[in-house]
């Protein structure tokens, strides 16, 4: 079940909200846990036991690490081994066997393993919980019910953001649902839904159409590359907006996961803005334990490279994701050692440099077939007998120009800055509040209308 579906919007969510707000405080977490398990069961009925096992196992080891301090280190090692062992089996074992066969010319049977939805996200949340208990940053959950509610919480269960226990531990026990917070949640959810349905899905159609051109052109490749980048951004940031909005409806405050990454002025800045919960997880649990920047420049560069190889691999069991991670690792090392002063001195050039490199990165991200990836990158840079443009290319550019322009503007903080200025004037501020409600209603109505007619509606990050 995806958030941008008729089933979720008009059946699941209203029923869960009704049950949640009709019951007393002591039963609210029970409603959330049952609803979350039902949400997961709807999409992955046979793998619900994997999630339940993760809840029970990590709760138990959290308690053991906290109470048996003399055995805390071996207990943590066992916990991490089992968590990442499950992740490896479900997500990477088939990929591993394929590459062993290729490397050693063997004929080992490649198992057909279906990956449980969201296993990367709830595994990272579970391990951050036990590591934080080990480092005495947090206390263990009071009971299994509370911890299971945290790990299985449906707004962020299958595609993030990665919510750490320390962020919501207080709210799991004591949170306050207010009308204003609920209204904020509806608004944020609506914005996310519109991003997903009105922008990401339409951009996905453009990507598919340009991929089927009978005569590709250089311009078509660049339009498709920009559309791929914008589609990924609005798909994932839209999901994060909906997750944050749903959290507010139930009294939770999840941290932001995106901060207008496409206006970044460097690749370093980009990763401070894109998928913040993932990059901060790798920083705190991999980069810093490896030594971070405390052991000299060479060691720092090695640490950066290791982190980004792992970051790429986290996204999927495919070589394009590994190359994607290496690509960013190399760029970050180059920025640290050579480009920092230049980028700071030339802001316009820095933005252009960053945007082009981001576009190239998401082309690598998009194509898991390396032959197709090579053809696409060659086409972008005019390698081969390609025309710059064609009537077919211009037709699609004109047909989707409005969506592309709106998407590019929506990827910047221009609207947010405009609203901030309006808020400075009390009379306009009241009008803004009215217009805001009208806007949310129109976006919701338009999104639902699109959903009724639409067949293309996947969440791209569900595969991670």
List the one residue out of 195, 321, 201, 333 whose CA is nearest residue 257. 195
Query: Which residue would you say has higher pLDDT here, 251 or 416?
Result: 251
DSSP state of 136: T
pLDDT of residue 27: 87
pLDDT of residue 112: 87
Query: Which residue would you say has higher pLDDT here, 121 or 431?
Result: 121
Give the angle 169-11-154 at the CA atoms, nearest 5°: 20
**Region 445-462 average pLDDT:** 74
Per-residue model confidence as pLDDT tens digits over 8-33: 999 999 999 999 999 887 889 999 99
Whether the predicted pLDDT of 399 surpasses 90: yes
DSSP state of 140: P
Per-residue model confidence as pLDDT tens digits over 78-101: 999 999 999 999 999 999 999 999
pLDDT of residue 435: 82
Task: Determine whether 315 is an active site residue.
Answer: yes
- Residue in this structure with the two tokens 């792992």, named with its chain if needed: 310
DSSP state of 458: -
253 Ramachandran zone, left/alpha/beta (phi>0; psi -120 to 50): beta
List the one residue out of 206, 214, 212, 156 whose CA is nearest residue 401. 206
List the one residue out of 116, 154, 141 whose CA is nearest residue 33. 154
List the one residue out of 211, 157, 202, 222 whose CA is nearest residue 378. 222
pLDDT of residue 295: 85
- pLDDT band at residue 1 under the 50/70/90 scheme: confident
Whether the predicted pLDDT of 4 surpasses 60: yes
> 10 Å Cβ neighbour count for 207?
19
Instruction: Provide the Cα torsion 305, 307, 308, 313; round to 10°.
Output: 130
Contact 308, 328 (CB under 8 A): yes
Whether the predicted pLDDT of 460 surpasses 70: no
pLDDT of residue 433: 75
Per-residue model confidence as pLDDT tens digits over 320-336: 999 999 999 999 999 99
Mean pLDDT over all residues of the chain?
Answer: 91
**Window from 46-50, 128-132, 156-160 with minimum mean pLDDT:** 156-160
pLDDT of residue 455: 60
Identify the active-site residue in 253, 315, 346, 427: 315
pLDDT of residue 463: 55
Contact 133, 117 (CB under 8 A): no
**Region 380-385 average pLDDT:** 87
Q: Where are the domains of the chain?
A: 6-175, 181-463
Whether the predicted pLDDT of 163 surpasses 80: yes
What is the percentage of the chain residues whose pLDDT exceeds 90? Answer: 74
Euclidean distance between CA atoms 6 and 416, whole angstroms: 29
Per-residue model confidence as pLDDT tens digits over 402-432: 999 999 999 999 988 887 777 777 777 677 7
**Region 234-254 average pLDDT:** 95
Per-residue model confidence as pLDDT tens digits over 305-320: 999 999 999 998 999 9
Structure tokens given for 61? 């080891």
- pLDDT band at residue 447 under the 50/70/90 scheme: very high
Name, in order, each residue with C-beta under 8 angstroms of 428's C-beta and a sequence gap of 6 or more. 422
pLDDT of residue 436: 83
Per-residue model confidence as pLDDT tens digits over 28-81: 999 999 999 999 998 878 889 999 999 999 999 999 999 999 999 999 999 999
Whether the predicted pLDDT of 135 surpasses 90: yes
């Amino acid at each position: 079940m995806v958030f941008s579906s008729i089933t979720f919007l008009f059946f699941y969510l209203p029923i869960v909200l009704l049950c949640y707000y009709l019951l007393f405080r002591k039963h609210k977490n029970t409603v959330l846990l049952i609803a979350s398990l039902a949400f997961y069961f709807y999409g992955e009925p046979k793998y619900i036991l994997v999630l339940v096992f993760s809840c029970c196992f990590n709760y138990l080891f959290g308690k053991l690490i906290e109470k048996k301090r003399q055995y805390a280190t071996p207990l943590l090692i066992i916990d991490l081994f089992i968590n990442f062992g499950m992740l490896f089996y479900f997500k990477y074992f088939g990929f591993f066997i394929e590459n062993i066969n290729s490397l050693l010319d063997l004929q080992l049977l490649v198992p057909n393993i279906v990956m449980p939805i969201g296993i990367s996200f709830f595994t990272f949340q579970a391990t951050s919980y036990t590591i934080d208990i080990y480092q005495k940053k947090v206390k263990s959950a009071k009971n299994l019910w509370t911890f299971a509610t945290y790990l299985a919480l449906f707004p962020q269960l299958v595609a993030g953001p990665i919510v750490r226990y320390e962020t919501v531990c207080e709210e799991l026990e004591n949170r306050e649902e207010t009308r204003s917070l609920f209204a904020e949640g509806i608004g944020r959810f609506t914005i996310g839904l519109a991003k997903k349905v009105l922008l990401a899905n339409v951009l996905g159609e453009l990507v598919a159409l340009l991929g089927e051109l009978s005569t590709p052109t250089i311009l078509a490749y660049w339009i498709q590359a920009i559309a791929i980048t914008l589609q990924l951004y609005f798909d994932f940031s839209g999901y994060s907006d909906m997750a944050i909005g749903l959290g507010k409806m139930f009294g939770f405050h999840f941290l932001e996961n995106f901060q207008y990454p496409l206006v970044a002025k460097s690749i370093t800045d980009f990763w401070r803005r894109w998928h913040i919960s993932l990059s901060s997880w790798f920083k705190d649990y991999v980069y810093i334990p490896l030594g971070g920047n405390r052991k000299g420049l060479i060691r720092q560069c090695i640490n950066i490279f290791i982190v980004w190889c792992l970051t790429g691999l986290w996204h999927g069991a495919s070589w394009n994701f590994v190359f994607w991670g290496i690509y960013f690792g190399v760029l970050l090392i180059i920025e640290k050692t050579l480009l920092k002063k230049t980028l700071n001195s030339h802001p316009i050039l820095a933005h252009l440099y960053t945007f082009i490199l981001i576009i190239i990165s998401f082309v690598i991200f998009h194509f898991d077939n390396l032959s197709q990836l090579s053809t696409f990158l060659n086409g972008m840079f005019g390698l081969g007998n390609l025309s710059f443009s064609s009537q077919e290319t211009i037709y699609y550019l004109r047909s989707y120009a409005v969506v592309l322009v709106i998407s590019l503007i929506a990827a910047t903080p221009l609207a947010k800055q405009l609203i901030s200025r309006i808020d400075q004037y009390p009379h306009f501020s009241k009008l803004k509040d009215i217009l805001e409600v009208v806007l949310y209603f129109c976006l919701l109505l338009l999104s639902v209308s699109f959903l009724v007619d639409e067949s293309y509606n996947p969440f791209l990050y569900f595969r991670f």
